[in-house]
Amino acid sequence: MRFCTRKVLWLSATVMAGGLLLAALPEKTRAEDTNPCFTGQGTIKEVLDACAAFLASNPTDQDLILKAHSIRAIGLSATGNLDGAIAELDENIRLDPSKPNSFFMRAAAYEAKDDHDKALGDLDEAIRLDASRGDFYLLRGIIFNHKGDLDRALTELDQKVKLDPDSTQGYSKRAELLRQKKDYDRAAADYGEVIKRDPDAAKGYVDRGWIYVLKGDLDGAGKDFDTALKIEKVNPGALFGRGVVKSRKGKPTDGSADMAYAKQLEPDIIDEIKKLGVE
Q: 155-186, pLDDT tens digit by residue?
A: 999 999 999 999 999 999 999 999 999 999 99
Q: Which of 124, 117, 127, 121 is nearest to 149 (CA)?
A: 117
Read off the amino acid at residue 50.
A
How far is Cα of residue 141 from the mean position of the Cα atoms in its chain? Answer: 15
Question: What is the C-alpha to C-alpha distance for residues 18 and 211, in angstroms, rounded to an integer?
Answer: 61
Q: Between residues 14 and 244, which one has the greater pLDDT?
A: 244
Q: Which tens digits make up the pLDDT trace of 122-159?
A: 999 999 999 999 999 999 999 999 999 999 999 999 99
pLDDT at 18 over 80: no
pLDDT for residue 5: 32
Q: Write down the pLDDT at residue 267.
A: 97
Distance from the Cα of residue 204 to its chain's centroid: 16
What would the DSSP string read from start to end of the chain? -HHHHHHHHHHHHHHHHHHHHHHHS-HHHHHHHH-HHHH--S-HHHHHHHHHHHHHT----HHHHHHHHHHHHHHHHHTT-HHHHHHHHHHHHHH-TT-HHHHHHHHHHHHHTT-HHHHHHHHHHHHHH-TT-HHHHHHHHHHHHHTT-HHHHHHHHHHHHHH-TT-HHHHHHHHHHHHHTT-HHHHHHHHHHHHHH-TT-HHHHHHHHHHHHHHT-HHHHHHHHHHHHHHSTT-HHHHHHHHHHHHHHS-TTTTHHHHHHHHHH-TTHHHHHHHTT--
| pLDDT tens string 74-132 | 999 999 999 999 999 999 999 999 999 999 999 999 999 999 999 999 999 999 999 99
Mean pLDDT of 50-67: 95
- The model's pLDDT over 191-248, given as tens digits with 9 standing for 90+, comes to 999 999 999 999 999 999 999 999 999 999 999 999 999 999 999 999 999 999 999 9
pLDDT band at 31 (very low <50, low <70, confident <90, very high): low
pLDDT on residue 4: 37
Would you state the pLDDT for residue 144?
A: 98
Q: How far apart are CA 121 and CA 136, in angstroms?
A: 12
pLDDT value at 28 more than 80:
no
Identity of the residue numbered 258: D
pLDDT, residue 265, reads 97
Model confidence band, residue 12 (pLDDT cutoffs 50, 70, 90): very low
Q: Is it the case that residue 20 has pLDDT exceeding 60?
A: no
- Whether the per-residue pLDDT at 15 is higher than 70: the answer is no
pLDDT at 115: 97
Measured between alpha carbons, how far is 69 from 93 in angstroms, rounded to an integer?
10
Number of CB atoms found within 10 A of residue 129's CB: 17
Phi, psi of 277, deg, nearest 5 = 95, 10
Q: Which CATH superfamily is domain 196-279 in?
A: Tetratricopeptide repeat domain (1.25.40.10)
Instruction: Report the distance separating Cα 245 and Cα 154, nearest Å.
Output: 30
Which amino acid is it at 15?
Answer: V
What residue spans define the domains of the chain? 33-96, 196-279
Contacts of residue 91, Cβ cutoff 8 Å, sequence gap at least 6 = 69
